[in-house]
Amino acid sequence: MKQRQWDALRLPLIAVALGLLVGCILIVLAGNNPATAYWALVKGSLSGVTELGRTLDKATPLVMGGLAVAVAFKAGLFNIGGQGQLLLGAAVAAYFGFRFSMPTVIHLPLAMAMGGLAAGLLGWLVGVLKATRGTHEVITTIMLNFVAANLTDWLTSRDGPWKDPESGAIARTPLVNESAEIPRLGGLPTGFLVAVLAAGICWWVFEKTNFGFEVRTTGLNPKAARYAGIKTQRIIVTTMVMSAFLAGVGGAIETQGVAGRFQPGFNTGLGFDGITIALLARTNPLAVVPAALLIGAMDAGSTLMQAEADVAPEIISVIQASILFFIAAPSVVRFIVRMRSDAATDDDMRLSSGWGA
């Protein structure tokens, strides 16, 4: 058992180490001191309540985006639409946040749920197209990213119905009402707890429930799933809705807990980081939390790194992309660190075949 846990951890840890190594080399090549840079990174993300708060802020939508990708993966689906789903969730939550006012106990969760449901609708579309027409979800989710981006742009644009009337030329929604705001506890965002709770629920669903078993079976072997009497088409639709819902709630938390409103451009890229995180977590919902914290901490610390070590924050993106590369290409890692495995696990195969299949 110990051995297996170590095996599961080994690849992600090595990928992170190799990613940091790549960063190190680039920093040196740019004529800076990697030790100073990485130390600044740590300080900028962990050294105090403000820093920690910033890390948690960054990590929250990442947990949700990571869960969205991980959940879809369980059913053998590759959800690249996290970005669009997150945008839509953020915008719709903002609308319900500023447009209505009611007691917090209702308003806060309602706005969040509406954000999730709006995104879930996108997921439903993807799932139905996949289940009934066989349209590949990678294609449809990418296309819906554009739809969602343009739709939310328009909603907040000059003649958009959700535009903040006081913002002049700036495209954004008004601030959400206080009753829809996610409170902070001593400077730390409680939205993060919601994300952790979501991760726990996802884990529980996949490990303990029949539904989770059906989803995993569908993802691992659709033919065997049908043979076992599982309605795989229904599973595909449900899982896509669930996946998109999670991304949408991630956007809603961003609106209600961090930005206070929806503003196009604020959330750029968050949805795509979900892919890195889900792969780093090897699609285990619980592992998504530390993976998101790691990526979030890098994002949070990058400003201080620039200030203290004069290293461009883009380096962080390069490190994150390298981590994704090493995770997605386990054979490359095996080659680099000379691991020879007797039996590639199904997870490995699924991760690397999910792209094309």
In whole angstroms, give the CA distance from residue 351 to residue 357. Answer: 10
Evaluate whether 114 touches 275 at the Cβ level (below 8 Å). Answer: no
Contact partner at residue 220 from ligand ATP, another protein, none, CB < 5 to 8 Å by partner kind: another protein
Q: Which stretch binds another protein (CB under 8 A): 14-22, 81-89, 188-196, 203-211?
A: 203-211
Give whichever of 166 and 342 is closer to ligand ATP, judged by the CB atom.
Answer: 342
- The size of the interface with ligand ATP (CB under 6 A), counted in residues, is 2
CA distances in angstroms from 294 to 69, 78, 83, listed in the order given: 17, 22, 20
Evaluate whether 176 touches 94 at the Cβ level (below 8 Å). Answer: yes
Identify which of 72, 73, 7 has the alpha carbon closest to the alpha carbon of residue 345: 7
What is the nearest approach in angstroms of ligand ATP to the Cβ of residue 341? 10
CB neighbours of residue 233 within 10 Å: 16
> Which residue from 226, 233, 290, 325 is in contact with another protein, where contact means CB under 8 A?
226
185: CB partners within 8 A, 6+ apart:
none
Give whichever of 104 and 221 is closer to another protein, judged by the CB atom.
Answer: 221
Restricted to residues 134-193, the positions that interact with ligand ATP (CB under 6 A) are none
What is the nearest approach in angstroms of ligand ATP to the Cβ of residue 3? 13
Evaluate whether 253 touches 60 at the Cβ level (below 8 Å). Answer: yes
Give whichever of 190 and 345 is closer to another protein, judged by the CB atom.
Answer: 345
Evaluate whether 248 touches 85 at the Cβ level (below 8 Å). Answer: yes
CB neighbours of residue 122 within 10 Å: 27
The verdict on 213 binding another protein (CB under 8 A) reads: yes
Binding mask 335-354 for ligand ATP (x = CB under 6 A): -------xx-----------
User: Where on the chain is the footprint of ligand ATP (CB under 6 A)?
Assistant: 342-343
User: Where on the chain is the footprint of another protein (CB under 8 A)?
Assistant: 3, 208-211, 213, 217, 220-221, 223-224, 226-229, 231, 340, 342-343, 345-347
